[in-house]
Amino acid sequence: MKKIFFASLFICSFFRISAQEVVDFSQYFKEYDLEGGFFLYNYKTKSYQVSDKTDFVRATSPASTFKIPNSLIALEVGAIKDENEVIKWDGEKRWLPVWDKDHDLTEAYKNSTVWFYQELARRIGEKNYNKYLKACDYGNKDISGGLTQFWLGKSLKISPKNQIEFLVKLYEEKLPFSKRTFEITKRVMVREKTNDYTLRAKTGMATVDKVDIGWFVGYVEKQDNVYFFALRMQKPEEKQMPEFASRRIEITTKILKQMGIM
């Protein structure tokens, strides 16, 4: 009888954790002539609201959303001491003028400074990446695209579902990192803090096979609950849309506000 009870309890728990409600979020993307999906995980109810179950598990390049695990790994292995250690700019002019200066971890995360994280990658090394991506069960764990490029539209791929699963483990501190590493990374991740909530998040953007992919992933921590989200949208590369990057945040904010989360 006990065996039956525990088996039933396990099945019910598994179903509850895996429960997925399909919700039509398409109007938010159509408003800006975009295609994409939005995926939300309610920590208290252990349930998902997803725009499309197939898209939920489809993996693409994480782009700069990889700066979340990259920060964790860099801090853990000593590639950088803390969020205040400065790495000197090498003087090379890059795509965004805001990148062309010395950075610490907090600023590099906020500005999504590629050269800074590429320098961290050189310090981290392939052995550590292989170790921690496997231990974190992060995406397809494939770094064959090159030590300083694998997350930038190359070999590493991750689905919205796996993005959220990773963020939940980060929030719960159930990843192979020290308390100090978690604390620093969580401070760096803060995008907005009010009396009602704290938003920790990261954007990402890459072009793969002539398709521009935009990410916005993170979680909203409130007094009584935590909501984890992943937005991914895309457009043809040739379609001119200067505001593409900002739409990731605008669409996510609209959805979360309408749902009463922000």
Instruction: Give the catalytic positions in this structure.
Output: 64
* Distance separating alpha carbons of residues 171 and 168, to the nearest angstrom: 5
Q: Name the phi and psi angles at 205, rounded to 5.
A: -150, 135
* Distance separating alpha carbons of residues 188 and 183, to the nearest angstrom: 9
* Three-class DSSP category at 204: strand
* Distance separating alpha carbons of residues 210 and 18, to the nearest angstrom: 34
**CB burial string 234-256: b at 16+ within 10 A, e below:** bbeeeeeeeebeebbeebbebbb
251 within 8 A of 231, measured Cβ to Cβ: yes
Separation in Å, CA 141 to CA 126, 130, 162, 207: 11, 7, 12, 20
User: Long-range contact list for 179-184, CB < 8 A, 24+ apart?
Assistant: 180/75, 181/72, 181/75, 181/76, 182/72, 184/71, 184/75, 184/82, 184/83, 184/105
* Distance separating alpha carbons of residues 204 and 256, to the nearest angstrom: 19
| Strand blocks (E) in 13-68 | 20-22, 35-42, 47-50
